[in-house]
Every structure is written in C-alpha cells, then in structure tokens.
Chain A
Amino acid sequence: MKNHDTHITSYSQNLTVLLILLILTTISVLAVEFHFGAFTVAIALIIASVKSAIVLTYFMHLKFESLLLRLMVGGVFLLFAIVVVITFIDYYFR
C-alpha cells in the first residue's frame, strides 16, 4: 500500500498562504470603492480566481500532486467555462 506523499507543508508556509489570501481579499473589497463600471464584475472574478488558484495550489496541495490530477482539475474548469460561453451564444445574441 502506497504511503502518503512525503512533502510536508510547514505551519509557517500555511500562514504565509493565508496572509496572501487576506491581502487579496482586502484588495477586492477596496476595488469596489472605485467605480470600474462594467469591469467591476471582471475584476472581482479575476481576484477570486487568483485566490482560488492559490487555495487549490497550496492548501489543496495540487502543486505537489501528480500531473494527472492537475490536468483533471484544469480540464474540469475549462469544460465548465466552455459550457458557460456556449450558453451565452444564446443570451448575448437574443
């Protein structure tokens, strides 16, 4: 039976990741104060995506997992994005 992976994330590395996430959260809250109009959603989503990527990569350990798993995660997000885009081929052009 295979043992768990041998890479251990240290307590301080976990704390660092949290601090980065908190900074990004602060930025996204402050960004709302500036009126970017139609781009507000885009900016909010971009920051959320960056935070998600950090959670996936470090907290969820994807950085140290197999390429297969990383491909699966990427593929799943890509598939979902394509489905959303295709849905909008209807709504945008109605």
Chain B
Amino acid sequence: MNNSSPTAPLNYLNHKTGLWSWLSSTDHKRIGLLYLYSITIFFCSAAVLGLLMKIEKIAPGETIMNAQTYNAMFTLHGIIMIFIVVIPGLAAVFGNFFLPILIGAKDVAFPKLNLFSWYIYITGACLGLYSQFAHGHSPDAGWTFYVPYSAEVNSNIVIALTAAFVLGFASILTGLNFIVTIHRMRAPGMTWFRMPLFPWSLYATAWIQLLATPIIGITLLMVIAERTLQIGFFDPALGGDPVLYQHLFWIYSHPAVYVMILPAMGVVSEIFPTFSQKPIFGYMPIVFSSLAIALVGYFVWGHHMFTSGMSYQARWFFSLLTFVVAIPSAIKVFNWLSTMYGGSVDLKPPLLYAISFIFLFTIGGFTGLTLGSLGTNIQTHNTDFVVAHFHYIIFGGMGFGFFAGIHYWYPKIYGRMYNIRWANIAWGILFTGFNVLYFPMFIIGLQGMPRRYFDYDPQFQTGQMISSIGAFILIIGLIGMISNLVYHRSRGAIAPANPWHGVTLEWQIPSPPPHENFDEVPTITHDPYVFEHPYTKSK
C-alpha cells in the first residue's frame, strides 16, 4: 500500500494533499522537503555548469566557450552552489525535517516564519537566475565579487548582489528559528546534554547564520551603493580601500564555511553510533568542538587575504588562528573513528558515505593547513590547489554528509527503502569520479595552474584531461544515486519505523512520521545514545 492510499495510516504526506497544501504548509517536515526539491534542482543545474566548465578545459584553447562565457559560468556555478545549495543545504532540509523530532517537539518555534523563509529563499534564488538572463551581461566577477571589478564592470552585478542579500535573509531567519526552537521547545527531560549531536551542530550553525550573515548583507549593500550612488568605501580614487571589501566579505564568508560543514558533521555523528550499534565516543568533546569551531571560525577570515597586502602582524595572527581552528575538527575525526572501533559495524550506504566523508574531509583539511601557512600560501593562492581544497572540504565534506543524511533518513521521510546495491554502486562511481576530478587539481595547482582561467599552458594538459574525465564519472555517479532515490520514492519496499536500529527519537515514531510527530510528547530520561544491547568486544 502506498502512503497516500485511503487505508494508509495518517502521516504528514497524506495529511492534506494537493500542490497548494504543500506551498502553504507550515509543517516543518513539508518545508524541509520543499527545500530538498528546490535545492536538488539548483544543485543539478550548477553541477551541469561545472561539467560544462570541465568540458571547456579538457583541451587547451577555446573548446566550447570563450573566456567571457567561462567567467560567467564559474560565477553562476559559485553563486548557486554556495548561496543556494551548500549554505542552506543540510540545515534547511534535514534541520527543518528532523530538528523538532530529535528534540521531541511538534514543530519549530515559529512555523509561519519557517515557511516565509522558504519563500524568501526562492525569491533570492530566482533573482540569482534572473541576473543571468536580464538585459545586460551575466555577472562575471566570481561569487566573491571582489572590487574594483564588481564595482565597475558592466554586467548584472546589482541583481546578483540583491539575490545574495535576499538569500542571506532566509539564512538569518532559519538560524533565528532554530536557536529559539532549541532553547525553548525541547521535550521534558531533554536537558542540553541529553540532546543528540545533530541538534547541537544545528545550534552552533544557527549562531553563525544569525551573526555573520548581516555583515555580508551590509557589504553587498555597500557595493550596490558604489555602483549606483557613487558612495565609494572601496574605491581608491575616492579615498576608499579595496582590501576593506575583502575583510568585510570574508568576515562573513569564512564563518559561512562552518555553516556548511557543521551540520554535515552533526549528521555523521548520528550515523556512526547507529551503524556501530554503540554510543558515540566522546559526546562532550564533539559538543564543545562544534561550539569552538563556530566561535574560532569568526577569527580566521584573513587567511583568504594573505597576498592582498595585509600587515605582517595580521598575516601571522590569521595563520595561527587557522591552525587552532583545525584542532576541534581533528578531535571529531578521532571521536568518529573511535565510535566504530569495537562496534558491530554495518556497512550500509549511510555509513559508506559517512566514512568517505571522513576521508575526503581530512584531505581537504590537511590541504587547508598548506594554504594556511604563510610561506606555502604564496605558491598555492589563487591556483587550482585552492579549488581542489575547497571542493574536497565542501563537496567531499558537506556534499557527502548530505548524501549520507539522505540515505540515512530516506526510509523515515518516505516510508520506503531504496535499493541498497544500487546505492552502493552509485557511491563507488561517485567516490571514484570525485577523486579523479579533484585530486589532479592539487598537483597542477602546485605546478602553477591558476584558478578561474578558461585556458592553460600545454604542460597542464594531462592533469586537466584526467580531471575532466573524472567530472563525467562523477556525474554518472550522481545520476545513479539520485535516480535510485527518486525511483524508489513510490516503488520501494515499505520501510519499517526503525530499519537501522537507531536509538534517537526519530526512530521511535512511524515511517513516515505523523503530522504532529508524536502522539504524546515524550519525556526523556536518559542520554541520547543508549543502546540496549551495545556490541562490546569483551563479551
């Protein structure tokens, strides 16, 4: 029986039907799915842009597009991926769907604001698309919009900046909603330290969303002011400082990467205990390292600007803090691995993605240290080394964390199971393609291949070609993964309430969840990761 037949139990999917019931729903679960579908569409579009860029770079010289088009491509690819997919991503989809359930609540603190946030998000996303097709040239200043180019170039920059501003608003309001939800809506007995780790990661993330995003908001307004009103804080001809733009931009955009990664770390922190059938190792260190990452992440932004002309003291300070902020992340990696050690490890797709998350995130993290050292930064800044680094961290980290989450929570969300073998095969192709695509970029980057260039010297040809082939493999893997999930949405085997034998609250309610999550609000009496019969080696 499918979930919307007359005899299916009442759940959030069949509670009310019809398109308008979805577009007007303040149910956090439905809003989470609204985000899931919009983000998936935008992700696929931006992935296609990435593929086109890689096709262009498969050989030197102009292959399928000229330099101007290439610049517009990487600009749009970056804007969509960063502002529309990765920053909102995990929090908007799984945070919305599961935060209330994981803390024993019926919904978030402000459900109507939650729906309103989605509409703001869609408005911003559409504005971003509109900047491509509006009268004038597509924006080509990169998603970073550095001045003076962004202040002077004749392309649809103002529309793109406005889009980013609007998207930032959605991010702020979601963060606000989550902070209040976590403070005020926890079920009776759920003290802070009985809260599972995914909500903790969302809490840390929400504070960054709340406090960092306004800074980029005002910075984008300043660039708009420079373009339209000749107010020129960044224009040297008027006495301004272009490096000041970089400071303000990265004061937000660096903490933003922690918005991207913290929820992913939270997701895998849920997956490891479940698929090891034992409690998470080091609950407290993971909690405090999440908070530490959120806080210290505010103090490292200058590592994007080492070659911009900052004082020596600033460069020294930012490099030191960059090394410091790596420590809490490393602590988490030790905790995750230790969770698996001695456990009853079940290598299902969620765990496959979680383990590969650690692998890819670690490579990204180590190469971040190379970039964070002043000396080596001079060699690697603005090369493909940087591009490889952030794709390992963001795509390998947040991306694979997202894939882990969707494979973990799919049976709960839809009450159906996907095909495990299909998922594993797709994972293998995806993982292979990912490394073939991005690892060569470390090498050619070290050899001097600049980023954001549509052409290159013949010496980089081999590396570029291997990388471009990797892009195709990656796309095939993505298609395989997504098609598995889409196909089984209505055709998969009916999933039980707790297919993975998890112990957190979402597995104690039916799949799919009822409209108000819990028939009775639960009372919490124990820590979040207590397994009745945890697997321990000595027995």
A–B contact at 8 Å CB threshold (below): yes
Q: In the assembly, what is the distance between CA of A79 and CA of B295, in Å?
A: 9
Complex Cα distance A89/B318, Å?
A: 10
CB pair A89 B313 closer than 8 Å: yes
Is B281 an interface residue when CB atoms closer than 8 A count as contact? Answer: no
Does the CB pair A82–B314 fall under 8 Å? Answer: no
Q: A65-94 CB contact bits vs B (8 Å, 1 = yes)?
A: 000100000001001001100110111111
Contact check: which of A79, A82, A83, A93 meets B313 at CB < 8 Å? A93
Q: Is B251 positioned at the interface, with any CB of A under 8 Å from its CB? A: yes
Cβ of B311 and Cβ of A90 under 8 Å apart? Answer: yes
> Which residues from A are CB-within-8-Å of B314?
86, 89-90, 93
- In-complex Cβ contact of A93 among B183, B251, B298, B311 (8 A): B311
Is B310 an interface residue when CB atoms closer than 8 A count as contact? yes
Q: Does B299 have its Cβ within 8 Å of any Cβ on chain A? A: yes
Given contacts A76-B211, A79-B211, contact A90 B183 (CB under 8 A): no
Interface size class of A (residues with CB under 8 A): 10 to 19
> Which residues of chain B from 222 to 271 have any CB-CB distance to chain A below 8 Å in the complex?
243, 247, 251
CB–CB B251/A83 < 8 A: yes
Q: How distant is A69 from chain B, measured CB to nearest CB, in Å?
A: 10
Please determine whether A94 and B310 come into contact, CB atoms closer than 8 angstroms: yes
Q: Taking the complex as formed, is B302 at the interface, i.e. its CB lies under 8 A from any CB of chain A?
A: yes
Task: With CB as the reference atom, state the residue of chain B lying closest to A91.
Answer: B311
Q: Which residues of A contact B309 (CB under 8 A)?
A: 94
Contact A89:B183 (CB < 8 A) given known A79-B211, A83-B251: no
Which residue on A lies nearest to B317, using beta carbons?
Answer: A89
- In the assembled complex, which residues on chain A have CB atoms less than 8 Å from the CB atom of B302? 86, 90
Given contact pairs A68-B183, A79-B211, A79-B298, A86 touches B311 in the complex (Cβ within 8 A): no
* B313 in contact with A87 (CB, 8 Å): no
Which of chain B's residues has its CB closest to A76's CB?
A: B211
* B20, CB-defined interface residue at 8 Å: no
CA distance A79 to B299 in the complex (A): 10
**Chain B's interface: helix, strand, loop or mixed, by majority?**
helix
B315 to chain A, nearest CB (A): 9
**B-side contacts of A68, CB under 8 Å:** 183
Give Cα A86–Cα B310 distance, bound, in whole angstroms: 12
**Are B312 and A93 interface neighbours, CB within 8 A?**
yes
- Complex Cα gap A85–B313 (Å): 13
B272 to chain A, nearest CB (A): 31
Closest to A88 in B: B314
Q: Are B247 and A87 in contact (CB under 8 A)?
A: yes
B262-314, CB < 8 A from A: 298-299, 302, 309-314
CA distance A85 to B299 in the complex (A): 10
Q: Chain B residues near A94 (CB, 8 Å)?
A: 309-311
Partner of B317, one of A76, A83, A86, A91: A86
Complex CA distance for A90 and B309, rounded to whole angstroms? 9
Q: How far is the CA of A79 from the CA of B215 in the complex (A)?
A: 13
- Report A-chain residues with C-beta under 8 Å of the C-beta of B251: 83, 87
Least Cβ distance of B19 to chain A in Å?
34
Closest to B251 in A: A83
B217 to chain A minimum Cβ distance, whole angstroms, is 15
Beta-carbon contact of B311 and A92 below 8 Å: yes
**Distance of A82 Cα from B299 Cα, bound (Å):** 8
Whole-angstrom CA separation of A5 from B362 in the bound complex: 49
Per the bound structure, the CA–CA distance linking A68 and B317 in Å amounts to: 31
Write the nearest CB–CB distance from A32 to chain B, whole angstroms. 24
Quick one: which of B302-337 are within 8 Å of A by CB?
A: 302, 309-314, 317
B183 partner residues in chain A, CB cutoff 8 A:
68
The CA-CA distance from A18 to B434 in the complex, in Å, is: 63
Set of chain B residues within 8 Å of A82, measured between Cβ atoms: 298-299
Q: A90-B243, A92-B311 are in contact. List 20 more A-B contacts (CB 8 A).
A: A76-B211, A79-B211, A79-B298, A82-B298, A82-B299, A83-B298, A83-B299, A86-B299, A86-B302, A86-B317, A89-B311, A89-B313, A89-B317, A90-B247, A90-B302, A90-B313, A91-B311, A93-B313, A94-B310, A94-B311
User: What are the 10 A-B residue pairs with the smallest beta carbon separation, nearest first?
Assistant: A93-B311, A90-B314, A93-B313, A90-B310, A89-B314, A94-B311, A90-B311, A89-B317, A89-B313, A87-B247
Instruction: Identify 21 residue pairs between A and B in the complex whose beta-carbon atoms are under 8 Å apart, listed by A's number.
Output: A68-B183, A79-B211, A79-B298, A82-B299, A83-B298, A83-B299, A86-B299, A86-B302, A86-B314, A86-B317, A89-B311, A90-B243, A90-B247, A90-B311, A90-B313, A90-B314, A91-B311, A92-B311, A93-B312, A93-B314, A94-B310
